[in-house]
């Protein structure tokens, strides 16, 4: 039943109280559905932690299994504490100078109270949970890139700082009341704000840039590169776990992108189309990368399929709600190329990324933000954002006047500057104070034996040569 089907009554009609109650019930149900939608999305995005754990475990040597698993638990747990105390307020609190949030810390304040000041604002709590799952994702991107040689103390410090401050500031810029946000009423960046619907830039590019800074400071694993610049392939535990993790991530991405509508009432069509474009880009990213791998390697590479799939997902995350399916196809194909050749570039530069997080999240994230400013149609932008801005803010390929391109390029450059500067300072500081890297002997033995009570599968590595 919709409100339009209920006949108009006056206070003198005997059914007036019944209608009032019915309208109140409908409004309450609509609000409850929106809260449930966010809770549903939070659960899907949180389940992506399982995907990251399996992908990373599958990508590292058996001797570092426990080390990777405890770091994935830590990303969620430390992330929850930091998001509760500081991160959410910095990200989505009331803006201060359009740079940073200034309240709503520790789940306190009017954000979390109902209008009468005494009841819980369920929607705000659901939003906190949904956004925490995103923050945990950003932190996890780093741990996979620098696996097998970063110290546990360094991991704890960077995870806390990243989820408390560095990442939340970018959230405030792009999604809160910040200078680049499209969700404010005035002083919009190029009259549009950035089109980054679910976070190609806010989440993935931020995590990927942090991973790049960390990988540069910590250096490559022992044996990864030869003196002549050639690269060696180091032991990988399980392509099965890596692929399982990738498929779990794809599953969770429907919450990541689809539920970024932040409500379901009136936006169900946007959510449905968003999930479709997400699927199409992922599929074309995987197929493109596998074909490129066949051309370059001479065989069908499962690793290329996994990372190409993720590249397509990251690439479409910014524009998933505003592009057409054919736009998603192009975004996915180009994401495959971006991933493949940025991965090769890192190897040439002797930057060691265990899970290829930097090509997938940093480079494809930047491409995704730029692509959103090209492929946003007027109808889709109107449905997902605001109808009164479409002539200015539609994509350059669909009649926009270029403002969206300008806004998105400026946002990309600002995120690069902010994350690169803060993360390089963070990792260099950690390296100077506690050390970013474990010693060579610990790296050779593996961190499970040296830090976590022993190997997970000792019978599988007994007598084996340790890389």
pLDDT, tens digit, for every residue of 376-422?
999 999 999 999 999 999 999 999 999 999 999 999 999 999 999 99
Is 261 inside any structural domain?
A: yes
Is 10 inside any structural domain?
A: no
pLDDT of amino acid 16: 55
Alpha-carbon distance of 61 to 449, in angstroms, equals 13
pTM across the whole model: 0.92
Is 465 inside any structural domain?
A: no
Please check whether residue 149 is in contact with residue 217, taking contact to mean a CB–CB distance below 8 angstroms: no
CATH code, domain with 391: 1.10.3430.10
Longest dimension (CA), the chain: 91
Alpha-carbon distance of 431 to 288, in angstroms, equals 39
pLDDT, mean of residues 57-69: 94
Q: Coil, helix or strand for 120?
A: strand
pLDDT, mean of residues 139-148: 94
Is 2 inside any structural domain?
A: no
Q: Which of 339, 331, 358 is nearest to 301 (CA)?
A: 339
pLDDT, tens digit, for every residue of 423-457?
999 999 999 999 999 999 999 998 888 888 888 76
43 alpha-carbon distance from chain centroid: 15
- The Cα-based distances of 142 to 14, 230, 286 in angstroms read 64, 24, 22
User: How many distinct helices (H) and strands (E) make up the chain?
Assistant: 19, 2
Is 18 inside any structural domain?
A: no
Alpha-carbon distance of 430 to 435, in angstroms, equals 6
pLDDT band (50, 70, 90) for residue 459? low
pLDDT of amino acid 455: 80
Alpha-carbon distance of 244 to 269, in angstroms, equals 30
Q: Which of 42, 9, 400 is nearest to 255 (CA)?
A: 42
Please state, for a pLDDT cut of 70, what percent of the chain lies above it: 91
pLDDT, tens digit, for every residue of 244-267?
999 999 999 999 999 999 999 999
Sign of the four-CA dihedral 53, 196, 309, 208: negative
Alpha-carbon distance of 418 to 294, in angstroms, equals 37
pLDDT, mean of residues 27-42: 92
Is 355 inside any structural domain?
A: yes
What residues make up the domain containing 269?
Answer: 27-458
pLDDT, tens digit, for every residue of 313-345?
999 999 999 999 999 999 999 999 999 999 999
Is 1 inside any structural domain?
A: no
For the chain, the straight-line distance linking the first and the last C-alpha, in angstroms and rounded, comes to 65
Tally of CA atoms within 13 A in the half-sphere of 225 that contains its CB: 15
Structural domains in the chain (count): 1
pLDDT of amino acid 118: 61
pLDDT, tens digit, for every residue of 105-131?
999 988 888 776 666 789 999 999 999
pLDDT, tens digit, for every residue of 263-307?
999 999 999 999 999 999 999 999 999 999 999 999 999 999 999
Is 393 inside any structural domain?
A: yes
pLDDT band (50, 70, 90) for residue 170? very high
């Amino acid at each position: 039943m919709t409100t339009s089907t209920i006949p108009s009554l006056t206070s003198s009609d005997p059914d007036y109280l019944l209608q009032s109650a019915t309208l109140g019930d409908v409004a309450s149900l609509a609000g409850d559905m929106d809260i449930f939608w966010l809770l549903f999305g939070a659960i899907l995005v949180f389940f992506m932690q399982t995907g990251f754990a399996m992908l990373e475990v599958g990508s590292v040597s058996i001797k570092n299994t426990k080390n990777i698993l405890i770091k994935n638990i830590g990303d969620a747990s430390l992330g929850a504490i930091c998001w509760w105390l500081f991160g959410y307020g910095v990200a989505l609190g009331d803006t201060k100078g359009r740079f940073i949030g200034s309240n709503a810390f520790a789940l306190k304040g009017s954000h979390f109270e109902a209008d009468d000041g005494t009841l819980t604002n369920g929607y705000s709590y659901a939003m906190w949970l949904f956004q925490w799952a995103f923050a945990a994702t950003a932190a996890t991107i780093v741990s996979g890139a620098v696996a097998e040689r970063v110290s546990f103390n360094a991991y704890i410090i960077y995870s806390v700082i990243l989820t408390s401050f560095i990442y939340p500031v970018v959230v405030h810029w792009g999604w809160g009341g910040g200078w680049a946000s499209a969700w404010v009423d005035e002083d919009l960046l190029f009259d549009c704000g950035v089109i980054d619907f679910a976070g190609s830039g806010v989440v993935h590019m931020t995590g990927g840039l942090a991973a790049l800074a960390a990988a540069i400071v910590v250096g490559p694993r022992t044996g990864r590169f030869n003196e002549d610049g050639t690269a060696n392939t180091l032991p990988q535990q399980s392509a099965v776990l890596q692929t399982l993790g990738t498929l779990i991530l794809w599953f969770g991405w429907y919450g990541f992108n689809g539920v970024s509508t932040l409500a379901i009432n009136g936006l169900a069509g946007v959510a449905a189309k968003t999930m479709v474009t997400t699927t199409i880009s992922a599929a074309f990213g995987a197929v493109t990368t596998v074909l490129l791998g066949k051309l370059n390697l001479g065989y069908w590479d499962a690793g290329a399929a996994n990372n190409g799939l993720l590249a397509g997902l990251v690439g479409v995350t910014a524009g998933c709600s505003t592009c057409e399916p054919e736009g998603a196809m192009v975004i996915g194909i180009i994401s495959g190329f971006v991933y493949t050749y940025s991965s090769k570039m890192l190897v040439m530069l002797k930057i060691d990324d265990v899970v290829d997080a930097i090509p997938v999240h940093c480079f494809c994230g930047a491409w995704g933000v730029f692509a959103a400013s090209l492929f946003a149609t007027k109808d889709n932008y109107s449905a997902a954002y605001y109808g009164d801005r479409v002539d200015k803010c539609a994509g350059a390929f669909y009649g926009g006047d270029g403002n969206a391109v300008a806004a998105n390029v400026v946002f990309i450059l600002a995120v690069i500057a902010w994350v690169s500067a803060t993360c390089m300072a963070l990792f260099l500081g950690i390296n100077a104070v506690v050390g970013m890297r474990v010693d060579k002997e610990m790296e050779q033995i593996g961190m499970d034996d040296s830090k976590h009570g022993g190997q997970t599968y000792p019978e599988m590595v007994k007598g084996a040569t340790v890389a």
